[in-house]
């Protein structure tokens, strides 16, 4: 089970989506409202996600 990196709560909301050719998961903590993204188990900074989205045209 995953935990929030900030508050260590275990209640996360996961939303999977495809950005360009990659599968990306947005994870959001329902306690402290931290959001982060990962792709293939790799942490993805938000600017990287936006780059992937921008590349898809
Ligand atoms: Zn949290």
Tell which residue, 35, 46, 50, 26, has the closest CA to residue 5.
Answer: 35
pLDDT given for residue 29 in this prediction: 94
18-57: pLDDT as tens digits: 988 889 999 999 999 999 888 888 888 877 777 877 876 6
Structural domain count, the chain: 1
Tell me what pLDDT residue 49 has: 77
* Confidence (pLDDT) at 56: 63
Answer whether residue 23 is part of any domain.
yes
Tell me the whole-structure pTM to 2 decimals: 0.68
Going along the chain, which residue ranges are E strands?
A: 12-19, 22-29, 35-39, 42-44
Is residue 34 a part of any domain in this protein? yes
pLDDT, position 20: 82
Q: Is residue 2 part of a domain?
A: no
CA of 33 to the centre of ligand 1 (A): 6
12 CA to centre of ligand 1 in angstroms: 8
Q: How far is the centre of ligand 1, averaged over its atoms, from the C-alpha of 26 (Å)?
A: 14
How large is the C-alpha radius of gyration of the chain? 12
User: Is 45 within a domain?
Assistant: yes
Exposed e or buried b for every residue in 25-41, given b needs 16+ CB within 10 A? bbbbbeeeeeebbbeee
Average pLDDT over residues 7-21: 90
Angle at 46 between CA 17 and CA 51, to 5 degrees: 75
Residue 57 CA to ligand 1 center (angstroms) comes to 34
In a domain, 46, yes or no: yes
Could you list the residue range(s) of the whole structural domain that residue 22 is in? 12-55
């Amino acid at each position: 089970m995953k935990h929030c990196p900030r508050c260590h709560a275990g209640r996360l909301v996961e939303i999977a989506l495809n950005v360009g050719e990659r599968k990306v998961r947005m994870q959001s903590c329902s306690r402290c409202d931290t959001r982060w993204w990962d792709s293939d188990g790799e942490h993805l900074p938000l600017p990287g996600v936006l780059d992937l989205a921008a590349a898809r045209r």
